[in-house]
């Protein structure tokens, strides 16, 4: 059973998962209800589940083809094993996301919904309104890398944390720790390390 979370932690997750669903008109965003945010988050997660399962299916098909070929070419066995490992990884990702889809409504029900809604909307509107500045700050510290090359989830984790540090007066340590925790759940295996490094550079710049 999901445990009760702090309102702002739940708000960050809702903002992260629904950010791509709500862009543009700030006035309309400010009128969103908690159920709208929850629906946006679930839609985003559902899309991820579908994409992960589709990719896993493709990898399984490719693996099967290589296994059949391996009857005459032993070199194809290693390739088939790698494809099978990838398929398992994508399936596990889909299972994890599906678990979040099932738990998220209960997390919200267990939280202080008014505070969750207020802070989630503040995060979404701040990221949308200040996106140009936020993106530039991130690009400036990512050596040999650009924000638009990151996954949508990783980019939005970074944007939310920068919005908190630069515009919402959240302590850098808190914003970074929360971003790292979200990355451990929603990013790739090593994503949280990359995100931690980028945000520490941003923090150093802001505190100069």
Per residue in 161-170, pLDDT tens?
A: 999 999 999 9
The pLDDT tens digits of the residues spanning 147-204 come to: 888 888 899 999 999 999 999 999 999 999 999 999 998 888 788 999 999 999 999 9
Helices 191-206, 152-167: crossing angle, 10 deg rounding: 20
Q: Does 123 map to a domain?
A: yes
Identify the domain containing residue 144 by its residue range.
117-207
Alpha helices (runs of H) in 70-130, residue ranges in sequence order: 76-110, 113-129
| Residue 90 located in a structural domain | no
Q: What angle do CA 95, 77, 94 make, to 5 degrees?
A: 10
| 108 lies in some domain | no
In angstroms, the CA 44 to CA 66 distance is: 33
Mean pLDDT, rounded, of the chain: 81
CATH number, domain containing residue 140: 1.10.940.10
Query: 134: closest CA among 192, 181, 198?
Result: 198
Number of compact structural domains in the chain: 1
Q: Residue 126 falls within a domain, yes or no?
A: yes
Highest mean pLDDT among 50-54, 78-82, 142-146: 142-146
């Amino acid at each position: 059973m999901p445990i009760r979370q702090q309102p702002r932690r739940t708000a960050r997750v809702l903002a992260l998962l629904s950010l791509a669903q709500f862009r543009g008109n700030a006035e309309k965003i400010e009128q969103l209800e908690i159920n709208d945010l929850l629906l946006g988050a679930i839609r985003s997660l559902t899309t991820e589940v579908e994409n992960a399962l589709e990719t896993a299916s493709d990898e399984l098909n490719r693996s099967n083809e290589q296994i059949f070929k391996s009857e005459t070419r032993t070199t194809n066995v290693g390739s088939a094993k790698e494809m099978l490992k990838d398929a398992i990884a994508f399936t596990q990702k889909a299972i994890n996301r599906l678990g979040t889809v099932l738990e998220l409504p209960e997390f919200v029900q267990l939280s202080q919904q008014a505070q969750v809604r207020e802070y989630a909307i503040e995060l979404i509107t701040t990221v949308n309104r200040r996106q140009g500045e936020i993106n530039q700050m991130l690009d400036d510290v990512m050596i040999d890398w650009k924000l638009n090359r990151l996954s949508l989830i990783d980019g939005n984790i970074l944007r939310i944390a920068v919005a908190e540090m630069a515009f919402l007066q959240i302590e850098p340590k808190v914003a970074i720790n929360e971003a790292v925790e979200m990355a451990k759940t929603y990013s790739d295996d090593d994503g949280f390390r990359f995100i931690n490094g980028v945000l520490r550079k941003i923090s150093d710049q802001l505190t100069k």
